[in-house]
Structure 1
Amino acid sequence: MPTIDYRADIRCLVAVRGHPFGRDAFASVFEGMAGISATMVDQPAAAFLMNPDGMREFDVLVLYDMPGLDFAAPDNPPAYVAPPAGFEAGFEALLDSGKGVVALHHALAGWPTWERYAEILGGRFLYRPGMLRGEHRLDSGFAHDVAQQFTVAQGHPVTAGLPECFTLTDEPYLAEVFGDDVTPLLWSDARFDKDHFWSATHAVEGRMYCRDGWDHPPGSNLVGWARTVGRSRLVYIQPGDGPGAYGNLHYRRLVENAIRWVR
Structure 2
Amino acid sequence: MTGTRRLLVLSGGHPYEATPFADLLASFDGWAVSHLIHPEAEAAVAEGAANDADAILFYDMPGYSFGDGKAATRPPSFTYRRAITDYFARGGGAVAMHHAIAGWAEWPEWADMLGGRFLYDPGIASGEYHLDSGYRHDVRYDAVVLDPDHPVTADLPARFPLRDELYLAPVWGAAKPLLRADHAFVRENFYSASQAVAGRMFSNDGWNHRPESDLIAWEKPVGAGRLIYLQPGDGPAAYTDPNLRRFLINALAHVAAA
**Number of the residue aligned with 1:106:** 99
Q: Could you tell me how far apart the structure 2 residues matched to 1:249 and 1:233 are?
A: 24
Structure 1 residue 57 displacement after superposition = 3.3
> Contact 1:143/1:197 (CA < 8 Å) preserved in 2?
yes
Structure 1 residue 88 displacement after superposition = 1.9
Matched, 1:11 2:11: no
Q: Secondary structure at the match of 1:123?
A: coil
Alignment CA distance shift 1:234-1:8 (3 Å): farther
> Contact 2:140/2:161 (CA < 8 Å) preserved in 1?
yes
**Number of the residue aligned with 1:158:** 152
Q: Secondary structure at the match of 2:33?
A: strand
Q: Secondary structure at the match of 1:11?
A: strand
**Number of the residue aligned with 1:71:** 66
Q: Could you tell me how far apart the structure 2 residues matched to 1:45 and 1:158 are?
A: 31
> Contact 1:52/1:94 (CA < 8 Å) preserved in 2?
no
Name the amino acid aligned to 2:218.
Answer: W
TM-score with structure 1 setting the length: 0.93
Q: Could you tell me how far apart the structure 2 residues matched to 1:16 and 1:55 are?
A: 14
How does 1:1-263 map onto structure 2 within 5 Å?
A: 7-50=2-45, 53-72=48-67, 74=68, 77-152=70-145, 153-178=147-172, 180-263=173-256
Q: Could you tell me how far apart the structure 2 residues matched to 1:200 and 1:32 are?
A: 32
Q: Could you tell me how far apart the structure 2 residues matched to 1:51 and 1:256 are?
A: 27
Where structure 2 has 5 or more consecutive residues not aligned to the other structure, the ranges are none
Q: Secondary structure at the match of 1:228?
A: strand
Name the amino acid aligned to 1:199.
Answer: S
Structure 1 residue 150 displacement after superposition = 0.5
> Contact 2:9/2:33 (CA < 8 Å) preserved in 1?
yes
Q: Could you tell me how far apart the structure 2 residues matched to 1:217 and 1:241 are?
A: 23
Aligned residues: CA RMSD = 1.5
Greater Cα shift, 225-234 or 35-44: 35-44
Where structure 1 has 5 or more consecutive residues not aligned to the other structure, the ranges are none
> Contact 2:65/2:72 (CA < 8 Å) preserved in 1?
yes
Q: Could you tell me how far apart the structure 2 residues matched to 1:140 and 1:110 are?
A: 13
TM-score with structure 2 setting the length: 0.94
Work out the number of aligned pairs and report it. Answer: 255
Q: Deviations over 1:162-218 (max 9, x none)?
A: 11111110000001111x442101000122000000000000000011001100000
> Contact 2:140/2:163 (CA < 8 Å) preserved in 1?
yes
Q: Secondary structure at the match of 1:28?
A: helix
Q: Could you tell me how far apart the structure 2 residues matched to 1:20 and 1:167 are?
A: 24
Name the amino acid aligned to 2:160.
Answer: F
